[in-house]
Amino acid sequence: MIYIRRQRASRFFIVCTMMLAVLASPYYALAASLPASLNKSVTDVDNIIKNDEEKEFTNLTSGMKQKYKLIVVAKTKPQTLEQYAQEVKSKFKIEDETMVIVLSVEEKNMVILSGKYFHNNGITQEVLQRKMEYFFEPYANQGTLMTGVMSFVGAVNDELNAQSQKQGNSNQVVLAGAAPASAVTNNVTSWPVWLLVGLVVIAAALGGAAWAYTKRGRVLKEVDEADEWRIKITDQLNAFEIDSSWKKEPGRVKEKYLAILTSLDDLKKDAIADVELILVDAEENLMKFRFKRGREIIQEAKEKLFRIEEEYRNLHIRLDKLRETLKDVASLKEETAQLHQKNERRLDELRIQYGVSFHALKERINQFDRELHAIKQAEEKGDFEEARERLQSLVDGQQNLMEQLQKVPLVRQTIVKELDQEIRQLDEDAKEMVDGGYTNGEEFFTARLVKIRGKVEKLPMMFEEGKVVEVENLILEIREDVEAMYQTMEEIVTNRHQYRQYATELPYYLNVLKQDQDYLSNELSDLSQRYQVEDGEAFHYYQQIPEVAADIENTLEQIHGDGLKEEYERHGETLTQVTERVTQMMERREFVMKELKDFRRGERAAHEDVHDLRSSLARVEQQLKRLHLPKMPYAITSNIELCRHAVSTVEEALKEVPLNMQKVDHLLKEAKEQVSTLLEDGAEMIRDIRLTEDKIQRTNRFRRYDREIANLLQTAEELFRNGEYQEAHEAADQAFRLAQEKYAIEQE
């Protein structure tokens, strides 16, 4: 009953989980990614398991009749492992004879998706859960997940083989027990009470007995599974073999193999026998219906089997490690002997070629011989790991020595030829610097040259002793000293040329500063009066000009008349400081000139506008003069006078002290409006004049025989002579339109 309740609760939980998964599908879009396919035996989504473990699982399942697929993920959050497994089931079609195992490394748990074949052959969810508890969870708690998975798959496969011949028994038992129940139900109302009570007691007793026998059968099944596990481990231990060639190995190597075989015998004789006795004890307790004690004993047997499997794997690891170590030792020995022989031969050739002892190199070869003796002692003690490490270090040392021996001719050439040429060239360059007057004498370079030559003189002795590394380091140090000396020479030459440049540029900068001082004297005075400005970058710049100019003059006076050599030695630093200050002043000068332009921007724009207004007035007056009008209209002449007055008013406002730019802007706006009105009126008057003249000329031919047109033309001419040009245009236009109506004149 407890199991049925658990099963119902599990089903209810699965249904709720599926509903939540459907409702929260956008949220699960961020869940762990699904595999692309299930073609491989192992699908490692997050690349977690090792290649060896993957190959071991593939080899295990390849010989089985059914197909087992493993999906490994690091974690499935925010989904649960069950939800992730359901997505796998929805995406891929699982065949009847296929079992998909979804393993979560973070949760140390797995979900099984099996085809119909497994369920039809007795591998129900209950069986799978029990197999996981006994064969997977002990390994999962130890951190060896893949071992637990492979143990679980092996147990399922064994169970499948055992259950293949027992199908149908459980259904017959259920049907046989259900038949009498209906009869009791149909006749219960007609029986006496005492008989009913008796039947209830008998039914309870039978139910208790059935429950006890059922539970005992389940627990006995666990005993059978543990015994199958024991048999499987026993077969593995019996299959463990070592090649008989180990008997021909030296004594210490043979001891290592014997230790492994002894551990194997202990597992076979003691551990397996103990498990067998424990399982017998569990069966005895189950026969007495001591289920709790029986389960405890079964759990003890499983834990012991788990430890045996661990020790069995450790034996394999020890054996593989021993073989690998021995193989490495043999290989390194051979390589060391070859390198040692090559180095000795090369050293003898070099000693004959150069006629020196190379004592340090010979001592290193002797040290290698002593190391070989220490390695032999480690092998005699059976410490092959230490021997391998020492041999690897010895090989590295031999290779390093070979590289040094290859460098000996190059080092010799550097000492004899290259360094000698470099030192001579440095000496010549130093003398050229002294002759060129760049220093006060040879003492400046002599001390450095003596130090460098002292180091060079040590090289032959060190080379004869065979100290190749020390010689290379000293050569590098000498060349660094030579490079530093050339760097000093370059700085001296650069400073001398820079000094000459400064001495040439300072008079020009002095002249610029004096011109700025004269210009700013008037400009800043005008700004302070007209704009009421007495502070700013321009004023600070003007105040610093006398000080900087005085520094320039003093510096030029100090260096004037001295020789170039004395100038540089005495005044080089002072000249550099003054030049840097002048450079800063020139940078500020650009900002000051921009600031002055910004101060007078409004005033300058106003002057330009006044100039444009006067140009416009002059242009209008010239156009009117070219027309040679009989009379100038009063409106135009008065407007011209008003414009002149407005422009003059703006000019007077610009001359006021202090300058009021708001007033200037207001007057300038009025003047612009006045001139704009004049331009519009003048343009309109000129248009009327030209149209009047044109229409009078085109209509004049009808004056002789059309009196009405003649009167209109005469009126237009009188108005034109009186300076009423708009009215004259209206009269001429009437005459022209009348002529169009009467005589069909084409209008241009």
pLDDT tens digits, 594-648: 777 776 777 788 888 888 988 988 888 888 888 788 888 888 888 888 898 988 8
**Rg of the Cα atoms in the chain:** 58
What confidence tens digit (pLDDT) does each residue in 74-88 have?
888 788 888 888 888
Residues 595 and 616 in one domain: no
Residues 276 and 380 placed together within one structural domain of the fold? yes
- Which CATH number belongs to the domain containing residue 88 in this structure? 3.10.310.50
Q: Using CB atoms within 10 A of its CB, is residue 468 exposed (0-12), middle (13-18) or buried (19+)?
A: buried
What are the φ and ψ backbone dihedral angles of 164, each rounded to 5 degrees?
A: -65, -20
Give domain status of residue 631, yes or no.
Answer: yes
**500 contact partners, CB below 8 Å, separation of at least 6:** 564
Are residues 540 and 688 both part of a single domain?
A: no
Q: Which one of 550, 565, 599 terminates a domain?
A: 599
Output the CA torsion sign for 344, 345, 351, 354.
negative
The reply to whether 495 falls in a domain is no
d(CA 667, CA 576): 55
Domain total for the chain? 4
Closest residue by Cα to residue 152 from 229, 75, 66, 97: 229
pLDDT of residue 647: 87
| Residue 477 included in any domain | no
Q: How many Cα atoms occupy the beta-carbon half-sphere of 345 within 13 Å?
A: 6
Q: Which residues of the chain have pLDDT under 70?
A: 1-32, 164-192, 195-196, 208-219, 239, 241, 243-258, 267-274, 276, 282-284, 286-292, 294, 380, 437-444, 531-534, 560-572, 599, 745-748
634 and 538 part of one domain: no
Look at residue 558 in the predicted model and tell me its pLDDT.
Answer: 73
CA distance 104 to 70: 11
Boundaries of domain holding 326: 191-401
pLDDT for 572? 65
pLDDT at 165: 54
pLDDT score for 112:
92
Final residue of a domain: which of 545, 574, 599?
A: 599
| Domain-ending residue, one of 351, 386, 401 | 401
Quick one: tokens of 630? 């009989």
Same domain? For 644 and 718 the reply is yes
The H or E element spanning position 544 is: helix 537-559
